[in-house]
């Protein structure tokens, strides 16, 4: 994790300091801001590999920051810190495009494990950057190692979860997945009651695909069941 840059956005000074201390211990280049507006300035000003974002902040809150980033096409990994274990917070966090969350009070070990997992994806992008296979389906080209997607040869920006969803679907055209199955496979938890999280991620992914390629409907709703990838398209592995 050395050399990675992590921004910590947390209005409780003690929690912020604790996170910074542990990140620094792991050789991570980090910075702490307490205020939502300041966070947006920092996120736009410099390159970051990850943001640890408190949900409840004064002024611009964590949800607003996350939403703004995604609207601006910024796919930076977001680890959300949520107050208590309120179900609403969890769902909202995932719906607006956060990649993972930890509920307060948290153990620092847990947070560092999540940070490590998210940063490892950034590493994979860089390490596997040479000579790996990619997939082509319809007008979509997916470079799994670099986690890059092109449609009609133009790169589209996807959040890590949107990318995971697309890859998961594209590898099995025609196979119908229930929402709870997608939660299980892509998010790693198959709790019932979180299905609308899946819907909102799929809607965002669809709208990005539709913007890039209006001719093909890639992800198809199977009413009363879930979703499937368009089975008139065939998957091609490209060396
Ligand atoms: Ca707070």
Mean pLDDT of 134-161: 91
**How many whole angstroms from 212 Cα to the centroid of ligand 1?**
38
**What span, in angstroms and rounded, lies between the C-alpha atoms of 107 and 15?**
11
Cβ–Cβ under 8 Å, residues 234 and 137:
yes
Coil, strand or helix at 231? coil
pLDDT digits (tens, 9 = 90+) for 33-91: 999 999 999 999 888 999 999 988 988 989 889 989 888 878 889 998 987 666 566 65
What is the CA angle 227-232-235, rounded to 5? 90
d(CA 170, ligand 1 centre) in Å: 39
Global pTM reads 0.62
- How far apart CA 110 and CA 40 sit, in angstroms, is 26
SS3 of 204, please?
A: helix
Instruction: Determine the 3-state secondary structure of 5 from DSSP.
Output: strand
106 C-alpha to center of ligand 1: Å?
13
Tokens at residue 52, please? 């640890």
Neighbours of 102 (CB within 10 A): 19
- Distance CA(6)–CA(25), nearest Å, equals 13
| C-alpha of residue 64 to centroid of ligand 1, in Å | 14
What tens digit of pLDDT does each residue of 220-231 get?
Answer: 999 999 999 999
Give the H or E element holding residue 137: strand 134-137
User: Are 114 and 215 contacting, i.e. CB atoms less than 8 angstroms apart?
Assistant: no
What is the per-residue pLDDT across 98-132, written as a single tens digit (0 to 9) for each? 888 888 888 999 899 999 988 887 666 555 554 45
Instruction: Report pLDDT for 145.
Output: 79
9 Cα–ligand 1 center, Å: 9
Q: Which residues contact 239 (CB under 8 A, 6 or more apart)?
A: 133
Distance 50 CA to ligand 1 centre (A): 18
| CA 99 to centroid of chain Cα atoms | 4
Residue 163: which H helix or E strand, with range?
helix 160-170
Question: CA gyration radius for the chain?
Answer: 18
């Amino acid at each position: 994790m050395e050399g990675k840059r992590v921004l910590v956005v947390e209005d409780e000074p003690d929690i912020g300091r604790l996170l910074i201390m542990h990140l620094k211990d792991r050789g991570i280049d980090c910075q702490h801001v307490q205020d939502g507006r300041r966070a947006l300035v920092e996120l736009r000003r410099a390159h970051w590999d990850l943001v640890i974002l408190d949900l409840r902040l004064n002024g611009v809150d964590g949800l607003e920051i996350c939403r703004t980033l995604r609207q601006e096409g910024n796919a930076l990994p977001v680890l959300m810190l949520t107050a208590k274990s309120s179900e609403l917070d969890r769902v909202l966090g995932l719906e607006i495009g956060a990649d993972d969350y930890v509920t307060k009070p948290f153990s620092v070990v847990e947070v560092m494990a999540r940070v490590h997992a998210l940063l490892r994806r950034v590493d994979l992008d860089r390490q596997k950057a040479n000579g790996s296979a990619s997939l082509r389906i319809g007008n979509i080209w997916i470079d799994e190692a670099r986690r890059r997607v092109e449609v009609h040869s133009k790169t589209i920006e996807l959040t890590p979860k949107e990318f995971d969803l697309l890859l998961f679907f594209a590898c099995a055209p025609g196979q119908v997945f229930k929402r709870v199955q997608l939660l299980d496979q892509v998010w790693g938890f198959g709790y019932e009651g979180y299905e609308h999280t899946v819907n909102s991620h799929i809607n965002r992914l669809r709208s990005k695909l539709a913007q890039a390629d209006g001719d093909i409907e890639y992800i198809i709703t199977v009413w009363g069941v879930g979703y499937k990838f368009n089975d008139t398209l065939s998957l091609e592995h490209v060396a």
